[in-house]
Amino acid sequence: MSKPYSGPLKAVILDWAGTTVDYGCFAPVAVFINVFKRQGVEISIAQARAPMGLEKRAHIRAITQQPEVSAAWERAHQRVPNEDDIDKMYQDSVTVQKAVVADYAELIAGTLRVVTECRKRGLKIGSTTGYSQSIMEVLVAAAAAQGYSPDAVVCPSDVPAGRPCPYMIYQNAIQMNVYPMAAVVKVGDTVPDIEEGLNAGTWVVSVTQSGNSLGLSAADVAALSEDELSAYLAPIERQMRAAGAHYVIGSIADLPPVLEDIEKRLHSGEQP
């Protein structure tokens, strides 16, 4: 049996919307509300956000399984939603999302600085997402135009299943030639991000302020008092810790000290 890994970190795997781009994770929400409205069903922002982090077809299915949404669908269609409905809404969502995703592609403050610092430390930069490959082609190009190009981009369609399964992280590791998983840090803003990292055996860092759970723009966050922001973030932090995150931070800008702490823990023999 090999000894527990005690060397340096080798890679950071970042989520996209709510973590590196699209502060507040608005792009998917607008699209989900739109595609359900096309089917005669009104859903709330909270209902659209609830399954965030999942592969988008699974996300739509999860929305339809919410009791209030299922009841609204039955009123509109005289039946419960089925897989054909989910497939149609998914295809609609891909079309709409491709058209608008570049409008929500602004990098979250601190992303370029932190990625540069990571690379200076010798870390590779991977990424996972709930978006499809066709949407990611647009988003990756928009991010590259702002200076952000991760070493690997893995979508749910590249692997047997998306989050919470660990396969996208494994595929990142293969593409970047990185192992063991104890040398990898997963960063994201949703519970499925956390589950993905834990299932893969990585360290997990959850971001709260820029992500889906808070769901506010950078301008809206800036307008809050420190006490107001703390009150909003406290239950989100509790949720992320309860889900198993090893660290909880406000945004990617706060990541470097966490990486230093993880390396100290590795050197002392700790594992994720």
The alpha-carbon radius of gyration of the chain (Å, integer) is: 19
Q: What distance in Å separates the CA atoms of residue 187 and residue 205, rounded to the nearest whole number?
A: 5
Residue that is last in its domain, among 103, 136, 151: 103
Domain membership flag for residue 62: yes
Q: What distance in Å separates the CA atoms of residue 267 and residue 167, rounded to the nearest whole number?
A: 27
* Other Cβ atoms within 10 Å of 80 Cβ, number: 12
Residue 208 is given by DSSP the state: -
Looking up residue 21, the CATH number of its domain turns out to be: 3.40.50.1000
Do 246 and 133 lie in one domain? The reply is: yes
Domain membership flag for residue 1: no
Residue that is last in its domain, among 48, 73, 103: 103
Looking up residue 39, the CATH number of its domain turns out to be: 1.10.150.240
In angstroms, the Cα distances linking 194 to 30, 59, 163, 189, 257 are 24, 16, 9, 8, 19
Predicted pLDDT of residue 107: 99
Nearest to 157 by CA among 124, 173, 134, 141: 134
Domain membership flag for residue 35: yes
What's the number of domains the chain is made of? 2
Range of the domain at 87: 30-103
Residue with tokens 């590196």: 20
Q: What distance in Å separates the CA atoms of residue 170 and residue 4, rounded to the nearest whole number?
A: 19
What residues in the chain have per-residue pLDDT under 70? 1
pLDDT tens-place string over residues 30-68: 999 999 999 999 999 999 999 999 999 999 999 999 999
Domain membership flag for residue 6: no
Do 99 and 130 lie in one domain? The reply is: no
The verdict on whether 37 is a catalytic residue reads no
In the sheet that holds 247-249, the strands lie side by side as 124-127, 11-14, 184-188, 203-207, 247-249
Predicted pLDDT of residue 1: 54
The verdict on whether 254 is a catalytic residue reads no
Given 56, 98, 124, 186, which residue is catalytic?
A: 56
Do 234 and 130 lie in one domain? The reply is: yes
Domain membership flag for residue 2: no
Given 10, 15, 22, 189, which residue is catalytic?
A: 15
Residue that is last in its domain, among 65, 80, 103: 103
Do 81 and 195 lie in one domain? The reply is: no
